[in-house]
Amino acid sequence: MPVYSRRRWETPDGDFIDVDRVSGPADAPLVVLFHGLEGNSGSHYVRTLAADVAQAGWRLAVPHFRGCSGEPNRLARAYHSGDSAEIAWMLGQFAAEAQSAALVAIGVSLGGNALLKYLGEAGQDARAVLRCAVAVSAPVDLAAAGNALASGFNRLYARVFLATLKRKGAGKAARFPGLIDAAKVRAASTLREFDDAVTAPLHGFRDTDDYWRRASSKPWLAYVRVPTLLLNARNDPFLPQQALPGADEVARCVELEFSDQGGHVGFTSGFFPGSFDWFGERIMSFIRKHLAQGALPHSHDMKPG
């Protein structure tokens, strides 16, 4: 288990974000890792990457999305898959801290979708912030992901998340009466129903369909200008294979790697129960390559083909 130190950031709107860190030299690259739905700095993929980053002599920061650090956040709003404005604010904080050191971002699952959406919206401006980025098991098409998780065996995955999401939703309903329907929260049996009862009304979306459409990162992938690795598995229950982006849907600086196996953030290798060695090595190899290349010039050579 990595040894973290924690720092609390006050947000501009009066809330807070807790950031867990693995320290390193002040001039070492700073890797920022955005966790997935209901994840935190103790999630298995975070622990794996934290060990790899520490071994490389770099620094790691794991900002927790609101309400995910073990303490309810102050405001009615929480976090969601398309919260690119939150990503932009946090990366701005880290960029000011990193100064001349290289800044790298990794987003996993929900964090990966939000990071990709930020990269597409920011376009060239993101290249002044980040050296490179990695998105792992990102549900880039939220409608396809939500519909897939509502059927068959995949419903088991949804139930795992719903257990904690509904508990948090009930807490929001009690603390902020009138904003959400507590009965709808209790009755939610799919992620679609939860998003309709909680995520959409708390974050300014009309309903689940509006949220899924506006928060998906897939339409933004053609506008990414930071070297980015998209690592997904074709058998990911969170995103059907047919919903994965094609080369013609992403910018030239976006590298697509879709393995046949791996599920959702389950890229194990070796004998049962397996290890995450390949997963960590692949991500670290991509980062090292772009750190070695240095900062890219601000030109138009990375526009979509």
List the catalytic residue out of 109, 137, 216, 217.
109
- Tracing tokens 């709808």 back to the chain, one arrives at 184
The reply to whether 137 belongs to the active site is no
List the catalytic residue out of 20, 83, 141, 236.
236
List the catalytic residue out of 35, 80, 203, 264.
264
- Tracing tokens 């999401």 back to the chain, one arrives at 165
Side chain identity, residue 101: A
Of 156, 115, 162, nearest to 135 by C-alpha is 115
Alpha helices in the chain (DSSP H): 44-55, 84-98, 110-122, 142-148, 155-175, 182-187, 191-194, 200-202, 208-215, 277-293
Of 225, 243, 54, nearest to 146 by C-alpha is 243
Side chain identity, residue 248: D
Report the distance separating Cα 48 and Cα 107, nearest Å: 14
The reply to whether 109 belongs to the active site is yes
CA-based torsion, 85, 86, 88, 93: positive or negative: positive
> Quick one: DSSP state of residue 297?
P
The reply to whether 236 belongs to the active site is yes
Could you tell me the strand order of the sheet in which 59-63 lies? Answer: 5-10, 16-22, 59-63, 30-34, 103-108, 132-136, 228-233, 254-259
Report the distance separating Cα 65 and Cα 235, nearest Å: 27
- Tracing tokens 């800044």 back to the chain, one arrives at 103
Write out the catalytic residue numbers: 109, 236, 264
